Amino acid sequence: MNWPVLYSFRRCPYAMRARWALLHAGLLVEWREVSLQSKPACLLDASPKGTVPVLITPQGRVIDESLAVMRWALQQADPFDWLGAGLSTPEREAIDGVIATNDGPFKHHLDRFKYTDRYPGASREQHQHQGLAILLDWSERIAGAGWLVGDRCSLADAALWPFVRQWRIADPKGFEQHPQLDPLRCWLQAFLDSPAFPRLMERSDPWQPSDRLKLFPADAAAVPVDQPVFHLALAPDWQQAERLGVYRVSTRGLMLEQVGFLHASTADQLAATYRRFYADAGDVLQLTIDPTRIPYPLRADPVPSGEQFPHLYGPLPVAAVTAVSPYPSC
Pairing assessment for the beta strands 5-8 and 29-33 based on DSSP bridges: parallel
170 has a pLDDT exceeding 70: yes
In the chain, pLDDT over 70 holds for what percent of residues? 100
- Domain residues for the domain of 311 are 222-326
Same domain, 129 and 43: yes
Average pLDDT for 115-144: 96
Confidence of residue 126 (pLDDT cuts 50, 70, 90): very high
| pLDDT-based confidence at residue 1 (cuts at 50, 70, 90) | confident
Report whether pLDDT(193) > 70: yes
Q: Give the residue from 284, 293, 273 showing the smallest Cα distance to 238.
A: 284
Distance CA 296, CA 161 (A): 26
In this structure, the answer to whether residues 166 and 229 fall within a common structural domain is no
1 or 94, greater pLDDT: 94
Do 59 and 192 belong to one domain? yes
Average pLDDT over residues 123-150: 96
Residues 6+ apart with CB under 8 A from 21: 69, 70, 73, 74, 82, 158
Cβ partners under 8 Å of residue 62, min gap 6: 46, 47, 54, 55, 56
Phi and psi at residue 233, to the nearest 5°: -130, 145
Give the integer Cα–Cα distance in Å for 289 and 319. Answer: 9
Q: How far apart are CA 216 and CA 15, in angstroms?
A: 12
Q: Are residues 149 and 171 in the same domain?
A: yes
Boundary residue ending a domain (166, 192, 219): 219
Of 169, 204, 219, the residue at which a domain comes to its end is 219
Average pLDDT over residues 317-328: 97
Q: Summarize pLDDT for 8-44 with one digit per residue, the tens.
A: 999 999 999 999 999 999 999 999 999 999 999 999 9
Residue 231, beta-bridge partner list: 287
Flag whether pLDDT at 330 surpasses 70. no
CA atoms of 101 and 15, how far apart (whole Å) = 18
Compute the average pLDDT of residues 176-180.
Answer: 97
Do 228 and 300 fall into the same domain?
A: yes
**pLDDT tens digits, residue range 60-92?**
999 999 999 999 999 999 999 999 988 899 999
Mean pLDDT of all residues in 181-198: 98
Measured between its terminal Cα atoms, the distance across the chain in Å is: 40
Output the CA torsion sign for 266, 263, 160, 186: negative
- CATH number of the structural domain spanning residue 295: 3.20.170.20
Of 154, 188, 219, which one is at a domain's C-terminal end?
219
Are 8 and 143 members of one domain?
A: yes
Report the pLDDT averaged over residues 230-239.
97
Q: How many domains does the chain have?
A: 2
**CATH number of residue 84's parent domain:** 1.20.1050.130
What pLDDT was estimated at residue 305?
87
Q: Residues 6 or more apart from 89 whose CB is under 8 A from it?
A: none
- What is the pLDDT at residue 309? 98
CA 20/CA 196 separation, integer angstroms:
8
pLDDT of residue 280 exceeding 90, the answer is yes
Give the DSSP H or E segment for 43.
helix 41-46
Query: Which residue did the predictor score with more confidence, 290 or 329?
Result: 290
Confidence of residue 178 (pLDDT cuts 50, 70, 90): very high
Q: Residues 43-66: pLDDT tens digits?
A: 999 999 999 999 999 999 999 999
One domain for residues 18 and 167? yes
How sure is the predictor about 148, in pLDDT bands with cuts at 50, 70 and 90?
Answer: very high
Is the pLDDT at 225 greater than 80, yes or no? yes
Contact 97, 149 (CB under 8 A): no
